Structure 1
């Protein structure tokens, strides 16, 4: 039986503060990518804990810098900077959510070497960091977890290979399957580890 969300969040805090967590020593020396999955109804509890951890980390006693990137906020900021919001509303109304998803991913250059989310995270993340990626539930279905792994994390510059990156996932991750909101199976995924069981 899984521990309650408060217990799991406390375990997560202890894990990220271990020096060994910030070294590339995963199973078979693989990438340092993690998933903290949680019941969708625990979203506000998770957000509050992340905010508390960020505030504590600002005091500088952790030995690393906690960087929190809300993927939804980054996506919206980009669309607003290009004055694309009205176009997005019209696109969804006229052509549907799938075409809107394609258009947004195109403007973010998700499939290009110039991926704007990768560029932003790389430019704003120091080497001695732990990265939290949040907002994937708010992004769904415009940006889904497999795309976060395959198009963002796996395209990070080599200099960030040892930086632990944790995706906060409102749903279930079994290390074989992603189920957003515990309702919609996404693509199978195997190259990230569950942070807390």
Structure 2
């Protein structure tokens, strides 16, 4: 827990650095960053994110902090599907509901919804959290891939409940998956 707290304390400094804000030193890479953490500390990270967003608000950055689960609910409500989806889950269960929502909540549609509603190109950066609540409807690597085309040069941080090896994302640190995605660690385990 102490290692996580040290890493959490470095987030604000990293976000406010020119390297982050201007994608400085990244070459032709997209400014996508991942802050991975053990899923059991979700509430600690969520509280710290609230603290960080309050500070960033006071510093007049143009940014948005999006909870992916809330984005999914907004998408379903906009289409008049949310209540029907809740009823469907009670009738057929989570696995069947996931298959039913695969089309309306495809990663490309989630990315387009974010682009239309929040205009990332007009922001200094975007913070994404809540992936654990939205899993398996949204997968980290698939969402990041879909967001590549809409983010332009706007940096993005995904707060990821699991492990990121620098190559692969492991949901919750327990699910073995070969889902390569190229991003940068916002704060490594060593604090660098």
Q: Does 1:176 align with 2:167?
A: yes
Deviates more, 1:18-27 or 1:5-14: 18-27
Q: 1:110 touches 1:117 (CA, 8 Å); kept in 2?
A: no
3-state SS of 1:35 partner? strand
Match of 1:134 in 2: 129
Q: Does 1:150 align with 2:149?
A: no
Q: Structure 1 unaligned runs (5+)?
A: none
1:91-135 CA-partner distances (Å, limit 9, x unpaired): 44666645533433422454469832332232xx46341211011
3-state SS of 2:64 partner? strand
Q: Does 1:75 align with 2:66?
A: no
How many pairs were matched up?
Answer: 188
3-state SS of 1:58 partner? helix
Q: Structure 2 unaligned runs (5+)?
A: none
CA RMSD of aligned residues (A): 2.6
Counterpart CA distance in 1 for 2:169 and 2:110 is 26
Counterpart CA distance in 2 for 1:9 and 1:114 is 27
Counterpart CA distance in 1 for 2:39 and 2:51 is 19
Counterpart CA distance in 2 for 1:109 and 1:165 is 20
Q: Does 1:189 align with 2:180?
A: yes
Question: For the structure 1 residues 189 and 120, does the alpha-carbon distance in structure 2 shift closer, same or farther, using more than 3 Å as the test?
Answer: farther
Q: 1:65 touches 1:126 (CA, 8 Å); kept in 2?
A: no
1:137-194 CA-partner distances (Å, limit 9, x unpaired): 000011111221122x2131xxx42211000000000012111111113442232111
Q: Does 1:60 align with 2:54?
A: no
3-state SS of 2:58 partner? coil
Counterpart CA distance in 1 for 2:110 and 2:138 is 17
Q: TM-score scaled by structure 1? A: 0.82
Q: 2:121 touches 2:152 (CA, 8 Å); kept in 1?
A: no
Once the two structures are TM-superposed, the CA of residue 73 in structure 1 deviates from its matched residue by: 0.3
Q: 2:10 touches 2:187 (CA, 8 Å); kept in 1?
A: yes
Q: TM-score scaled by structure 2? A: 0.84
Match of 2:85 in 1: 88
